[in-house]
Chains A and B, each alone.
Chain A
Amino acid sequence: MNAPIDHGRDGMGQPALKDAGAGAKVVALPAAAAVVALPRATGKPLSETLAPLAKSVLVTVLPPLVTIALILLFWQIAASGPQSSLPPPSKIWEEARDLITEPFYWAGSQDIGLGWRILVSLQRVAIGFSLAAIVGVLLGALVGQSVWAMRGLDPVFQVLRTVPPLAWLPLSLAAFRDSQPSAIFVIFITAIWPVIINTAVGIRNIPQDYRNVAQVLRLNQVEFFFKIMVPSAAPYIFTGLRIGVGLSWLAIVAAEMLTGGVGIGFFIWDAWNSSRLSDIIVALVYIGVVGFVLDRLVAFIGAIVTRGTAAQ
């Protein structure tokens, strides 16, 4: 037990830094030797090229693993008592093993793996979020570009964006009379505000120089939008999209709890109604991981698209 705890301490603060410095030295020495020996050996040995890679993987993967292990351990101890109202990890493993190990089983319309449920929820998010992204960027461009649009629309946006996602649900159920489009609408209305606001800020911050270039070239509105506005405001737009995708993932779970169907949100509600606490905890982990992946995915696309824009 001693070893992981030690590593845990290494993961944060000073000791880790010292450790890394020492580690780098150890790697650097054989590399220097290889430089001397270069005339003889043309390529570096495989072990030498792999060593830094393995090290970096170790440095990034090990600390969170240790943290998780510690949390599980603490949880196990805390929830093991006979009066505990929540299941310990060992009990979750016993009760919900099939959910953890087989995300994509299919045994009837309501008895399906969590992977399928996640996919259903993701599909709703994909539709709602894409709509929010398109409409949000267009509205943001309008608000950012036109002073009068800003004066007229901005106060409305500022009020509407504070309305919690679920407060829209009854209205949208009344309007669409169907749970599927209602859930998508809730995603849309949740994700659109940060996209609008960030796009508008990005467009207001387009340097006058770029506008001058566009004017000298006599770019028309459409050309200006695609060739100057969107690339120039891309870092801001992607910040908005990233916040938006996070919010939509928050909203879909809540919306599905109320609308039913096969989504991950309804699964949690269903599990609660039949007192399957272990299933709920497994579902929470799924939701967390998918939310994390979504966030990183948008950040990754943003990093590719805005290459060069940020660095000037």
Chain B
Amino acid sequence: MTSAYLKIDHVEKTFQRGSATTNVLKDVSLVIDKGEYVSIIGHSGCGKSTLLNIVAGLTPVTEGAVLLEGKEVNAPGPERAVVFQNHSLLPWLSVYDNVALAVNKVFGRTKSKTERHDWIMHNLDLVQMGHAKDKRPSEISGGMKQRVGIARGLAMEPKILLLDEPFGALDALTRAHLQDSIMQIHATLGNTMIMITHDVDEAVLLSDRIVMMTNGPSARIGEVLDVRLERPRKRLELVSDRTYIAAREAVLKFLYERHRFVEAA
């Protein structure tokens, strides 16, 4: 069992507010291999963001543990970089400086100044944002901000890149663009990635495995679906692909038949 790259081991999370206790996650276990792209899907409020925050170390577990390469993680760190849903770029820094903040912190000791500069530009070019390096976040579009957020995450050279609904706030066309970019980056760098999403097509298109969560409170992993599609995947060709359609159907059935979102809950 020590061979697992990332191991989420019987994680349980309870939030306490005053006298009220809410059990958000119940007995969640998952093993993720190196280089795998795993999506976590579920209705809103099912605790998928909480699970990601636990892996990131931003939220402590109530019980259980998260192990990365056999070592327990209980604090945030750059080896588990997060791409936040609302990009979270620092508005007073330029695009370049936002990435530089991460690079200088992570590689301040190991890389020289020119190496760091090249590394920053390399990552900005990877998401096609090199041309806007001197712009401030307020001067670029939502999709571009998210690209910079991804560049910042990648620039930390993380063992695992955690994406928290990275394309949730974007329009459909921009989203498709960024999904292609992410697929390309994943193919080139072979990063291990965990992505939160509520978009079925996105999950099927991008993932090796889709983790479907039941509704909260006390959300569990309901089902894990292997997406056996060849890479590189082409959006247009997949539309009529049998495996793709089957995978899509399985996720939809899970979400809308067996675990319908109950408003009252």
Contacts and interface: CB of A to CB of B under 8 A. Distances in A.
A277 B242 CA distance: 96
Main DSSP-derived SS at the A contact region: helix
Interface string A116-131: 0000000000000000
B80 interface: yes
Interface in A175-228: 207, 209-210, 212-213, 215-219, 223, 227-228
A307 B139 CA distance: 12
Given A212-B58, A215-B58, A218-B105, A308 B92 contact: yes
B91 A218 contact: no
Interface residues of B, number: 25
Interface in B73-109: 75-78, 80-82, 84, 86, 88, 90-93, 101-102, 105-106
Interface centre among B78, B90, B101 (most CB of A within 10 A): B90
A69 to B, nearest CB: 43
A14 interface: no
A4 to B, nearest CB: 44
Contact of B88 (A209, A218, A227): A209
Contacts, number: 62
A312 interface: yes
A240 interface: no
Contacts of B248: none
A215 B77 CA distance: 7
B91 A216 contact: no
A231 B92 contact: yes
B68 to A, nearest CB: 14
B78 A216 contact: yes
Contacts of A306: 92
Contacts of A212: 58, 76, 82, 84, 88
B58 A228 contact: no
Contacts of A146: none
Contacts of A227: 90, 101
Contact of B105 (A207, A219, A231): A219
B92 to A, nearest CB: 4
Contacts of A231: 90, 92-93
Contact of B138 (A210, A232, A234, A308): A308
Interface of B: 56-58, 75-78, 80-82, 84, 86, 88, 90-93, 101-102, 105-106, 136-138, 156
28 contacts: A209-B88, A210-B90, A212-B58, A212-B76, A212-B84, A212-B88, A215-B76, A216-B56, A216-B58, A216-B76, A216-B77, A216-B78, A216-B80, A216-B82, A218-B76, A218-B78, A219-B105, A227-B101, A228-B90, A232-B90, A234-B92, A307-B92, A308-B136, A308-B137, A309-B92, A311-B91, A311-B138, A312-B137
